Structure 1
Amino acid sequence: MEEKLDLICILGPTASGKTALAVALAKKLNGEIISADSRQVYRGMDIGTGKDLEEYSNVPYHLIDILDAGEIYGVGQFQKDFNRVLREIKSRNRIPILCGGTGLYIQAVLQNFSHTYIPRDFALRDSLIHREYAELKQLFEGLPKAQSFNADTSTHKRLIRAIEIAKWLENNELIEEANLSIEPIIFGINLDLNTRRQNISKRLRERFDKGLIEEVQQLLDKGISADMLIFYGLEYKIITQHLQGDYSLEECFSKLEIAIHQFAKRQMTYFRKMEKDGLEIHWINQNSLTERLDFITKFVP
C-alpha cells in the first residue's frame, strides 16, 4: 500500500549542501521547497544568507524574499506563513519539502510550539540586554515556568526571549491553536568535522569574491541601520563592524570564519536537542548528491 507523506524535511548545518539536495529531491518527487532560514526571508540579503537562487532552477520555492531588510521576522510569523504555504502546496497535490538550518523554526512547526505567539516585553528586554549570559541563565532556571516549554537558550538573545516567555506564563494561560496534521520524515546532513570546516571556509572565500562586503555596504546606503545589521548576526554583524573601522579586512575574514564554525556547531547541538525532544532524524553521512538521494529513497519511494 502506497503511503502519502505529509512533509519531507531536510536539515543540516551551514554549507552542508541542503539546497542542492532539496532541489534534486523536489525534481524527483514533483515537490516544492519551503525555506526554513531565519534570514533568507529578507530581500537584499542574498550573498550573506546563501540564497543561491540559481540552484532552484524551475523548482518552486517559498518564504524567501518576503520582507525588506530592516524589518523584524520571528518564529511565530514563520509558523503562520508555513501553515499557509503548506496548505497551498497540498492543494496542488505536490510534495512539500521543508529545507533549512534554523532549528527553532523547524521544530516550532513540526511540534506546534504555542509559546512563540507570546508578545514581546520591551521593558523587560531593556532591563536584561546588558546582563551577562551566565547571570541570565541562572535567572531563567530559577523561574517557576522555565521547564514548562522547550526553551532554546543557545544565545544571549534567545535566552532573553526564554525569560520573557517564562515570565509571561506565570500570569497567563496559553490557548492552544488548531494545527495542521503533519507527519514529517526528517533527514539531517551529518558531515564529518573536517569536511564541514573546509566547506565553510571555501564558501566564505567565494562569498567575499562575489561581493559580500559590497552587499552590506549597499544595505547601509539604503538606510538600514548598523544596529539592525549587527542584530542580524554573523556576516552582517562582523562586516558592518569592519565597515565602521573596528576590524581590518584580514581580521574581519578571520573573525567571521571562526564565528561561522561556531554557528555550525550550535546548529548541530540544536538538532540533537530536537531528537531528545522526540523528533526522529535520519542522518545522511554520504557526501555526494547521488549517494544522498539514494539514501533518502530507502525511506521515500
Structure 2
Amino acid sequence: MNNFIIVSGPTGVGKTDFVDRLYSVLAHPYEIINADVGQLYEPLTIGTAKPLYKDSAIPHHLFDVLKAPTSYTVSQWREQVVSIMHSLWERNVIPVIVGGSSFYISSLFFPPMAASPEQQLPVSWQNKSSLDLWQELDTIDTERARLLHPQDRYRIERALSLWYTQGKKPSECIPVFLAPGTCHFYYLTRDVADLYTRINERVLIMLEQGWIEEVRSLDDHWKQFLLEKKLIGYPDIVKYIAAGEDSVRDELEAVISQKTRNYAKRQLIFWRMLKKKLENHDPHGNFIKKIVELNLTGEGDNGSILEQLIDDSVLFKSF
C-alpha cells in the first residue's frame, strides 16, 4: 500500500525538531520531501529556517532546487512531489512531507484546477496594486479573500480569473479529491502565547545569524523578486537595506515578528478548513488513515507526543 506521512503546522511551531524525533520511532526507512515554498530557493536559508539537510543521514528532496529568482506554482510542486513519492514507494521507502505552505499541502489531496488558455489577465490589472485586487476579490468572494494575504498577488489573480472567465466563486468550486496514497497526517500546534513567543525569539535569532547580510548579498533581480514574492520578512529587509542608515533594526524586528504571527494565524485558519474538508471527503478513512492535531506546548523530549509516535510506529511497520 502506498502510504505517506505529512508533518505540517504554523511557522515556528517546531516541525524540524519533530521530524528529527521520527528517526527514533519509525521502524521503516523514510525520506523527507519539502513543502515550504521559501526553502525551494537556494540563496534563501536563514530567513526560511532551512534545515541542515546536507548533514542529515536521511535523504531530503526539493530543497535548494531553484537557483534563480523564478516562481514555482502549486501545480509544479505537486507534480514533482507525486513523482518523488512513486519513486520512493518503488524502493519501499515512506515519503515524509514536511512544511507549512498550506496550499502545497492541500494540493496533494485537491489538485489545483488547470488554468485554461483563455484565462488571460486583463491589462488593467497590471496597473492595480495587489491590495486593490484583493479588495475587488473581497467584494466578490469574501470567504476566499479572507484566506489570502492582500499581497498574495498570484492567488488573488487566480481567484479573480476563475470568477471573470467562468463565473464561479472560488470558495464555491467543488474540490476534486484525489489523494496520491494513504496518508498519516500530523498537524503540529502550540498554545497561542507559546507559539508567539517562539516566533518572536526565532525572528531575533535569525537576525543575529545574519539574515540581513543574506539579503544584502543578493543581486537586484533577487531583491525585486523578494519584493514581489512576499516571503515573510524578506521584503521588509530589502526595504530596510534600501533605506540605509535611517533604518532602525528594532523596528524591523518588530515588523517581521508581527507579520510572522499574522501568517501563523492564517495558517491555523487554513488548517481547520482543510481538516474539515478531508474528513468530509474521506469519512471512512480510506485515504486519510490518521489526521490528528498535536499540541507541543509543554512537551519535552520524552512527553506524551513521543509516546504516541511510538504507538503509531507499529502502523508503519506494515508499510
Q: CA deviation at 1:74?
A: 1.4
Check whether the contact 1:118–1:165 (CA below 8 A) recurs between aligned residues: no
- Structure 2 equivalent of residue 235 of structure 1: 233
Name the SS for the 1:32 alignment partner.
strand
Q: Deviations over 1:222-257 (max 9, x none)?
A: 342433111232221110111111842221111111
Q: Deviations over 1:137-158 (max 9, x none)?
A: 11346xxxxx9xx888422323
- Distance change (3 Å), C-alpha of 1:137 and 1:71: same
Q: Given residue 78 of structure 1, which amino acid in structure 2 is its aligned partner?
A: W
Name the SS for the 1:40 alignment partner.
helix
C-alpha distance in 2, partners of 1:181/1:248? 48
Q: CA deviation at 1:135?
A: 3.1
- Structure 2 equivalent of residue 21 of structure 1: 18
The counterpart of 2:295, out of the listed 282, 285, 290, is: 285
- Structure 1 equivalent of residue 138 of structure 2: 137
Task: Provide TM-score, normalisation by structure 1.
Answer: 0.84
Alignment of 1:140-159 (within 5 A): 140=141, 153-156=147-150, 157=152, 158-159=155-156
Name the SS for the 1:68 alignment partner.
coil
C-alpha distance in 1, partners of 2:197/2:127? 40
**Alignment length, in residue pairs?**
285
Could you tell which deviates more after superposition, 273-282 or 84-93?
A: 273-282
Check whether the contact 1:14–1:264 (CA below 8 A) recurs between aligned residues: yes
Alignment of 1:1-301 (within 5 A): 6-26=3-23, 28=26, 29-53=28-52, 57-111=56-110, 113-118=111-116, 121-123=120-122, 125-126=125-126, 128-130=128-130, 131=132, 133-140=134-141, 153-156=147-150, 157=152, 158-170=155-167, 181-219=180-218, 222-233=219-230, 234-245=232-243, 247-279=247-279, 281-286=291-296, 287-291=299-303, 292-301=305-314
Q: CA deviation at 1:127?
A: 5.5
Check whether the contact 1:140–1:163 (CA below 8 A) recurs between aligned residues: no
Q: CA deviation at 1:215?
A: 0.4
Q: CA deviation at 1:38?
A: 1.1
Q: Deviations over 1:85-134 (max 9, x none)?
A: 111111111111111101110010123x2415556734364265351633
Check whether the contact 1:26–1:95 (CA below 8 A) recurs between aligned residues: no
C-alpha RMSD of matched pairs (Å): 2.9
Check whether the contact 1:21–1:289 (CA below 8 A) recurs between aligned residues: no
C-alpha distance in 1, partners of 2:146/2:120? 18
C-alpha distance in 2, partners of 1:162/1:128? 15
Q: Given residue 299 of structure 1, which amino acid in structure 2 is its aligned partner?
A: D
- Distance change (3 Å), C-alpha of 1:128 and 1:136: farther
Q: CA deviation at 1:30?
A: 1.6
Q: Given residue 244 of structure 1, which amino acid in structure 2 is its aligned partner?
A: A
C-alpha distance in 2, partners of 1:6/1:228? 37
| Higher-RCO chain (CA-CA 8 Å, sequence separation at least 6) | 2
In the alignment, structure 1 segments of 5+ residues that lack a partner are: 142-146
Percent identity over the alignment?
24
Task: Provide TM-score, normalisation by structure 2.
Answer: 0.79
C-alpha distance in 1, partners of 2:176/2:292? 29
- Distance change (3 Å), C-alpha of 1:259 and 1:168: same
Q: CA deviation at 1:5?
A: 6.0
Could you tell which deviates more after superposition, 284-293 or 230-239?
A: 284-293
Q: CA deviation at 1:205?
A: 1.2
- Distance change (3 Å), C-alpha of 1:217 and 1:116: farther
Check whether the contact 1:47–1:212 (CA below 8 A) recurs between aligned residues: yes
Check whether the contact 1:10–1:99 (CA below 8 A) recurs between aligned residues: yes
